């Protein structure tokens, strides 16, 4: 019993990190109807920023979060201006936008691979190998810290969306763009801002990921599918849904990884995607997407 | 003018059929390789165009069917000693049935969810094939070499691919001009209205998906024999699917000749890059850059843009 509890707690910590990775994605989709396949590569950019800051200046990855967020936010702003500004104008999903994000992902992937090659990297701050013990349950410090930081960032995001004026504007725009414009919301600015916010969240997630998982440029293809399965399961555009899905699937994945084999654990995400498409295409909390 | 419409393709076909004769005089294996590589991709892009171009279902996971076809042929070749060339039809059939089943599940959704499900398909297959000991797991299957002298060793693949490419192009043309294609295009515009008009929406979509899987699967059998070595991480990578999508978009999706034009131009482009820059990670960057530029400035592709301006050469205008 203790053993299963142990696995569930480990899955929970990872699930929170996955949740943070997915929130930016679902935020961008909610506001602009852009399925941002480039999101995982922004996470990787954040991870590289944290990695190099740690290697060159010994900066702790958790403290590097703001820097990674700023770098990814600026990168996101550039990408948005160059690539998406035209299409973000119509709040209508189009295949072309998905392919555009895919092309962007490939450009960034190629750039990262060119500079950093396909070497597996992981940031190793002093606490990366530590663990807490509570009775018989052990908690790896890295997982615990990353889980807690993710949780607080998600809560901060939720509070921001709930109570700040800009947050209300973002929620209004994702409900209905036309009506948002009618009540005087600057929709163009809201779009730009939420894209940058989404990318900055990816950067935050990246610096946490840098000491939880090992990473290399081509890794983002795997993450695309994992994150998408979370977003689809939760219902596209629903942040609460994405977080719930992330925790649920991550716990399930760590159970599968323990009782079957570690390499089968990601299968949970992909199979969940197929099952959810089969029985409830709109996801747990989502509206049907046409 | 009507003559040139048929003349140019027929001449091109004649030249391609006769081209291997140069092997009598000098060894041009590299050019033969490039040509058959182009045929191979034309099969994939043309079949992708059926569901992605006419049907509007963008799949970034069509190489899953290539993998199925290659493994059917590869497994039979190693276990039972049957030449993959006899198994082209069977590989296609298995891939087609697989596509039918996958289509029943994933074609229920459209738009972004469908694209995501197609990526998930490759990921699932990658994990399954990596663990499937019967077909060699992650280390794959090694096929026997053919015993032809080196000069002629590529020709069976050359002609098989040429034949399959013609079949794929014909099928593309047929779908464009048949009632089936009309229904498919209607479905891609509005499923509800098509259903009201009496179209069996589900069957049309799934059939088109299975059809394109069938052709890609048959190409997989020949490709397995050509490579003589198949491994999950050669087929189940997103880059192949990305290339297919890029080629079709570049040429013009939803047109008969678009996939051909896109494939030829992209392969030439790739060759030029390889010559000048070598094989580096920059290739991924340039592929992505080409995709983004095409989508932003010529979303209709080369054939589509020329057609819009009414300057499309007659021999490329097949609908």
Residue A289 has pLDDT above 60, yes or no: no
pLDDT number for residue B237 = 82
Residue B285 has pLDDT above 90, yes or no: no
Helix (H) or strand (E) run with residue B229 in it: strand B229-230
Instruction: Compare CB distances from B119 to A95, A228, A277 and report the shortest one's residue.
Output: A228
Reference A227, options A55, A8, A74, A41; nearest CA is: A41
Q: Is residue B57 part of a domain?
A: yes
What value of ipTM does the predicted structure carry?
A: 0.84
Q: Is residue B143 part of a domain?
A: yes
Distance from CA of B255 to the nearest CA of A (A): 17
Helix (H) or strand (E) run with residue A145 in it: helix A141-163
Interaxial angle between packed helices B238-251 and B301-308, expressed in degrees from 0 to 180 and rounded to the nearest 10: 10
Least confident span in A199-203, B166-170, B197-201, B310-314 = B310-314
Residue B7 has pLDDT above 80, yes or no: yes
> Sorting pLDDT into bands at 50, 70 and 90, what band is A93?
low
Q: Is residue B111 part of a domain?
A: yes
Collect all residues of chain B within an 8 Å Cβ-Cβ radius of residue A263.
127, 130-131
Distance from CA of B130 to the nearest CA of A (A): 9
DSSP assignments along A82-138, one per residue: IIIHHHHTS-S--HHHHHHHHHHHHHHHHHHHHHHTT--B----GGGG-EEEETTEE
Distance from CA of A247 to the nearest CA of B (A): 19
pLDDT number for residue B27 = 81
Chain mean pLDDT for chain A: 86
Q: Are A187 and A172 in contact (CB under 8 A)?
A: no
Q: Is residue B93 part of a domain?
A: yes
> Sorting pLDDT into bands at 50, 70 and 90, what band is A98?
confident
pTM: 0.87
pLDDT number for residue A125 = 81
Averaged pLDDT for residues A78-96: 73
Q: Are B176 and B184 in contact (CB under 8 A)?
A: no
Averaged pLDDT for residues A271-275: 85
Chain mean pLDDT for chain B: 87
Tens-digit pLDDT profile for residues A37-75: 899 999 999 999 999 999 999 888 889 999 999 999 999
Q: Is residue B74 part of a domain?
A: yes
Tens-digit pLDDT profile for residues A236-271: 778 888 899 999 999 999 888 888 888 888 888 888
CA pair distance B65, B173, nearest whole angstrom? 22
Q: Do A103 and B289 touch (CB under 8 A)?
A: yes
> Sorting pLDDT into bands at 50, 70 and 90, what band is A119?
confident
Collect all residues of chain A within an 8 Å Cβ-Cβ radius of residue B242.
102, 106
Q: Is residue B155 part of a domain?
A: yes
Q: List the domain range (segments joined by +) for residue B107.
A: 30-237
pLDDT number for residue A290 = 37
Handedness of CA A68, A70, A76, A79 (dihedral sign): negative
Residue B71 CA to its chain's centroid (Å): 17
Q: Is residue B36 part of a domain?
A: yes
CA pair distance B65, B2, nearest whole angstrom? 38
User: CA of B106: which chain A residue's CA is closest?
Assistant: A277
DSSP assignments along B9-30, one per residue: HHHHHHHHHHGGGGGGTS--HH
State the total domains in chain B. Answer: 1
Helix (H) or strand (E) run with residue A139 in it: strand A137-140
The chain B residues in contact with chain A (CB within 8 A) are 56, 58, 60, 105-106, 108-113, 115-117, 119-120, 123-124, 127, 130-131, 237-238, 242, 245, 249, 280-292, 295-296, 299
pLDDT number for residue A89 = 56
pLDDT number for residue B9 = 85
Averaged pLDDT for residues A18-41: 88
pLDDT number for residue A186 = 87
Averaged pLDDT for residues B236-257: 88
Residue A184 has pLDDT above 90, yes or no: no
Domains of chain A: 2-128+138-279 (1.10.3470)
Q: Is residue B105 part of a domain?
A: yes
Averaged pLDDT for residues B246-268: 91
Tell me the backbone φ, ψ of residue B141, rounded to 5 degrees: -120, 140
Q: Count the neighbouring beta carbons within 10 Å of the beta carbon of residue A148.
A: 13
- What percent of chain B is predicted at pLDDT more than 70? 98
Least confident span in A119-133, B148-162, B260-274, B288-302 = A119-133
Collect all residues of chain B within an 8 Å Cβ-Cβ radius of residue A98.
58, 112, 115
> Sorting pLDDT into bands at 50, 70 and 90, what band is B49?
very high
Residue A204 has pLDDT above 90, yes or no: yes
> Sorting pLDDT into bands at 50, 70 and 90, what band is A286?
low
Reference A199, options A70, A112, A86, A102; nearest CA is: A70
Q: Does A270 lie at the interface with B, CB-CB under 8 angstroms?
A: yes
pLDDT number for residue A88 = 60
């Amino acid at each position: 019993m203790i053993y299963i509890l142990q696995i569930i707690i480990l899955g929970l910590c990872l699930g929170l990190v996955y949740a943070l990775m997915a929130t930016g994605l679902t935020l961008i989709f909610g506001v602009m109807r852009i399925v941002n396949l480039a999101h995982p590569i922004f996470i990787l950019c954040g991870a590289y920023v944290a990695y190099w800051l740690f290697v060159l200046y010994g900066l702790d990855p958790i403290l590097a979060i703001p820097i990674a967020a700023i770098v990814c936010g600026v990168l996101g702003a550039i990408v948005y201006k160059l690539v998406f500004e035209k299409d973000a104008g119509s709040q209508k999903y189009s295949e072309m936008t998905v392919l555009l994000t895919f092309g962007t992902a490939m450009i960034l992937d190629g750039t990262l691979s060119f500079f950093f090659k396909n070497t597996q990297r992981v940031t190793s701050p002093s606490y990366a190998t530590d663990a807490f013990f509570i009775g018989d349950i052990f908690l790896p410090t890295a997982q615990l810290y990353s889980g807690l930081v993710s949780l607080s960032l998600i809560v901060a995001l939720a509070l921001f969306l709930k109570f700040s004026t800009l947050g209300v504007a973002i929620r209004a725009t994702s409900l209905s763009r036309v009506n948002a414009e009618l009540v005087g919301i600057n929709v163009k600015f809201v779009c730009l801002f939420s894209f940058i916010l989404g990318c900055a969240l990816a950067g935050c997630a990246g610096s946490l990921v840098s000491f939880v998982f090992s990473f290399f440029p081509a890794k983002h293809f795997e993450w695309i599918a994992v994150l998408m399965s979370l977003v689809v399961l939760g219902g596209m555009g629903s942040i609460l849904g994405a977080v719930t899905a992330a925790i649920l699937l991550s716990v399930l994945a760590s159970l599968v990884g323990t009782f079957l084999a570690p390499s089968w654990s990601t299968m949970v995400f992909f199979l969940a995607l197929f099952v959810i498409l089969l029985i409830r295409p709109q996801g747990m909390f989502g509206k049907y997407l046409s | 003018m009507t003559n040139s419409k048929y003349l140019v393709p027929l001449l091109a076909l004649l030249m391609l059929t006769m081209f291997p004769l140069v092997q009598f005089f000098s060894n041009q294996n590299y050019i033969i390789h490039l040509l058959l590589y182009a045929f191979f991709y034309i099969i994939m892009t043309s079949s992708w165009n059926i569901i992605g171009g006419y049907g509007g279902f963008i799949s970034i996971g069509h190489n899953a069917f290539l993998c199925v076809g290659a493994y059917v042929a590869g497994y039979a070749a190693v276990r039972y000693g049957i030449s993959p060339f006899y198994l082209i039809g069977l590989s296609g059939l298995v891939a087609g049935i697989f596509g039918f089943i996958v289509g029943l599940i994933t074609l229920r959704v459209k738009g972004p969810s469908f694209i995501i499900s197609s990526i998930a398909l490759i990921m699932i297959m990658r994990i399954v094939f990596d663990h499937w000991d019967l077909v060699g797991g992650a280390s794959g299957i090694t096929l026997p070499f053919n015993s032809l002298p080196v000069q002629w060793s590529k020709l069976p693949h050359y002609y098989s691919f040429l034949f399959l490419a013609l079949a794929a192009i014909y099928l593309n043309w047929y779908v464009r001009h048949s009632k089936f294609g009309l229904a498919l295009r209607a479905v891609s515009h509005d499923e509800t209205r098509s259903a009201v008009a009496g179209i069996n929406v589900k069957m049309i979509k799934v059939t088109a998906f299975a059809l394109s899987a069938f052709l890609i699967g048959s190409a997989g059998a020949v490709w397995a024999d050509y490579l003589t070595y198949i491994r999950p991480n050669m087929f189940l990578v997103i880059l192949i699917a990305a290339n297919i999508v890029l080629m079709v978009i570049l040429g013009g999706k939803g047109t008969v000749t678009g996939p051909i034009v896109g494939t030829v131009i992209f392969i030439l482009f790739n060759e030029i890059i390889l010559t000048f820059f070598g094989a580096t990670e920059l290739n991924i960057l340039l592929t992505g850059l080409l995709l983004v530029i095409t989508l932003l400035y010529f979303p209709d592709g080369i054939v589509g843009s020329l057609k819009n301006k009414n300057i499309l050469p007659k021999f490329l205008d097949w609908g």
